[in-house]
Amino acid sequence: MFTTYPPYEFPIPPGLAHPDARYWRVVELSLHAPWFLLSVEVPDGEAGMSFVRTMIFGWESDLISFIPTVDAGEIKGLVCMVPGWKAPCGQWTSREVHEVWLASDAGGQQFLQLIDADGQALDVGLPTEPDAAVSDRELLLKFKPRRRRQAAARRLRNSGRAGPKHASATGL
C-alpha cells in the first residue's frame, strides 16, 4: 500500500533511532484504498509526561489486530483517509471516526464498521465490506464527543468573526 525509495530515507543518529526502525521523508500510495491514522498517547513514567504516537495503517486487518493490544483509554483518535473515487469532492479526504465495530457476516468474514460523530456508518470503500447482512458485531472503540471543538465553534460564531448568518452575495 505504501511504497518508499532509498533516496527518501532519512538518517537518524543511532542514539535517537529505534534499533529496528528506518525513517522516511516520503512515502507513496501504491493503492487508492482507504487507510487510517491512529493516534495513541504513550505515557513516559520517568519524565512524568506523555507524547502522542501516530501510526498509519494501510489495511484494516492490521488495525483490527492492533487495537486490542493498546489500552482503549490511550487511543486519542482515529481518522479514515477516504480515496477520491469514494469521496464526494473527488479528492482524498479525511473522516473522523467516533466508533469502531468489528463485525462479521454469516460466513464468519470479519470487517470494520466505522461510525462518525452523527452516528452514521461511514461508507469509505473498505475492501472487506460484505454484500451480506451483519450477523454479529463487537464494539472495539468509542471516542468521547469533542466538546472543545464544539465550544470553539460556538465562541467563533458569537464573536462575529465567523461572518453574518445570512449575508447576501451583493451585500445588500
Residues 92, 38 within the same domain: yes
The per-residue pLDDT for 40 is 94
Residues 1, 82 within the same domain: no
Residues 4, 85 within the same domain: no
Residues 15, 82 within the same domain: no
Q: Could you tell me if residue 123 is left (phi over 0), alpha (psi between -120 and 50 degrees) or otherwise beta?
A: beta
CB atoms within 10 A of CB 29: 14
- Supply angle C-alpha 66, 33, 99, rounded to 5: 45
Polymer length in residues for the chain: 172
Residues 75, 145 within the same domain: yes
Residues 15, 42 within the same domain: no
31: cell is: 493503492
CA 58 to each of CA 21, 30, 35: distance values in angstroms, whole numbers, following the listed order:
18, 10, 5
Task: Tell me if 165 is assigned to some domain.
Answer: no
Which pTM was predicted? 0.75
Residues 86, 12 within the same domain: no
How many domains in the chain?
2
Question: Could you report the per-residue pLDDT of 33-81, keeping only the tens digit for each?
Answer: 999 999 999 888 787 888 899 999 998 889 989 999 998 889 999 999 9
- Supply angle C-alpha 137, 141, 146, rounded to 5: 135
Question: Could you report the per-residue pLDDT of 102-129, keeping only the tens digit for each?
Answer: 888 888 888 888 998 888 888 877 766 6
CA distance 46 to 31: 41
**Amino acid occupying residue 77:** G
Residues 50, 128 within the same domain: yes
CA distance 88 to 85: 8
Domain that holds residue 88: 31-159
| SS3 state at 1 | coil
8: cell is: 527518501
